[in-house]
Structures are given as structure tokens and as C-alpha cells.
Chains A and B, each alone.
Chain A
Amino acid sequence: QSVLTQPPSVSGAPGQRVTISCTGSSSNLGADYDVHWYQQLPGTAPKLLIYGNINRPSGVPDRFSGSKSGTSASLAITGLQAEDEADYYCQSYDSGLSGWVFGGGTKLTVL
């Protein structure tokens, strides 16, 4: 059971918009710790997608956006492309555990 809760899977057709939620608690997202997102393509290492809730590293398309409110955060992907099919993870800090925590991951399927 992950400290941060994500839906196991989401799907969408090419060109559509999908969102992936990340739900935490008062010891992580609710304590105003930032949330970050990673994309993991099959057989590869995770790649930073969003940091500091809303920021995109250089090279990440603006089709990817992040938001955070209270104990929840979301990753939105617009203009869905086949290459977006991957696992997505949220990550934050948890004061109760005194360490970094990940969500359980969400598998995005492009129909």
C-alpha cells in the first residue's frame, strides 16, 4: 500500500486529454510538500516529467502539466500520442516517514 494513491490504470484515444490523480495526506501533500511526476517507458529508467507541482524540465512537451491542491495532485496530458503510453509515478516527501515516497504508479494506455 503506497503512501500516495494513484489509479492503477487510465486510457484515452489519440488526441484526447487524460488526467492521473495522486492522493496523499496531511503528512505529505497536505503538509505543503511539493509533488513531482515521472514517466517510465517500458524497460527504461524513470524520467522526470514535472517538478515542484507545475514545472516542466527542459525538453518535456507542454502537453504535460501538473497541478496540486490540498492533499491531491494531478498530471494532465493533452493531445495524447502513442508514445505517451507508459507508467507514471507521483513522488513527494512524507514527514511521518521522514523520507521520500512514491505513488503506486499508473499505467497509461493509448487506445
Chain B
Amino acid sequence: QVQLQESGPGLVKPSQTLSLTCAVSGGSITSDGYFWSWVRQPAGKGLEWIGRVDTSGFTNYNPSLKSRVTMSRDTSNNQFSLKVSSVTAADTAIYYCARVTMVDGFYFDSWGQGTLVTVSS
């Protein structure tokens, strides 16, 4: 059973860069058949897909965030990361990391517990 755990600062100042890491256990981020992704959820609102990194390290981002988002992976520590630059209050949200499975479509079959990031001075 794969498990994901987000970590990173809970408070980021406006205009700075938000940085989060997702540690994966119970499975390798280089295993075929999966993508590794970030999803966020502002308080009281819906889910927004941010981006994904595949087993080869290639990335794909939500067009609405593409100019500010960078994802990467660290295979030696079996983790992947998210950076969002030039943050504003609109980036305040719970950030989830998740595994995407490619069987019968592409869906998020395992999720981290989420971490709240607040953008405020």
C-alpha cells in the first residue's frame, strides 16, 4: 500500500516561492504505470490539478499555473517536489500530493493527507 506525505513551510510571504515535498513509501516513483501529481484546494472550494511528473522525470502543468510552477523528482530519496513562484493570497490552499494510475483512464488512486499553505506577510 503506497503512502504519500507532504512537507514544507505552512506560511509563505507574498511574491516568494512556495516549496513542498512529497515523500513516497510503499512504492517507487520510478515504477511504470504511474504519474506523480499535485492537487490543491482553497478553503471551502474545489480541487485544482497543478501538475504531474512521470517516471522518466518529464513534467506537465495546468496551463493556468504553468508560468509559475516547477515540479521535480528525487529518485534517491523516492520523493517529488513542487515549487510555485510569485505567490499571492490566491495560492493559499491545502496542497495534496497524489499518485495517478494509468489503468482504465488516469485517476488519483492514492493521496497524501494534505498540507495547508498560507500566503501572508
Contacts and interface: CB of A to CB of B under 8 A. Distances in A.
Interface string B97-115: 0001101111111011110
Max chain B C-beta neighbours (<10 A), residue from A53, A99, A101, A103: A99
B36 interface: no
Contacts of A38: 47, 108
B109 A57 contact: yes
Given A97-B63, A98-B60, A99-B60, A48 B108 contact: yes
B25 to A, nearest CB: 16
The 7 closest A-B pairs by CB, nearest first: A52-B104, A34-B105, A36-B107, A45-B111, A102-B47, A105-B46, A100-B49
A52 B108 contact: no
Contacts of B107: 34, 36, 48, 51-52, 91
Contacts of B32: none
* Interface of chain B, main secondary structure: strand
A40 to B, nearest CB: 8
B48 interface: yes
Interface residues of B, number: 25
A72 B108 CA distance: 20
Interface of B: 37, 39, 46-49, 52, 60-63, 96, 100-101, 103-109, 111-114
Interface of A: 2, 33-36, 38, 44-48, 51-53, 55, 57, 89, 91-93, 97-105
Contact of A99 (B62, B96, B101): B62
Nearest to B109: A48
Contacts of B62: 97, 99
Contacts of B114: 45
A102 B48 CA distance: 7
B34 to A, nearest CB: 14
B106 A105 contact: no
A104 B96 CA distance: 17
B105 A93 contact: yes
29 contacts: A34-B105, A34-B106, A36-B107, A36-B108, A38-B108, A44-B113, A45-B96, A45-B114, A46-B47, A46-B96, A46-B111, A47-B111, A48-B109, A52-B103, A52-B107, A53-B105, A89-B47, A91-B107, A97-B62, A98-B60, A99-B61, A99-B63, A100-B37, A100-B49, A100-B52, A100-B106, A102-B47, A102-B48, A103-B46
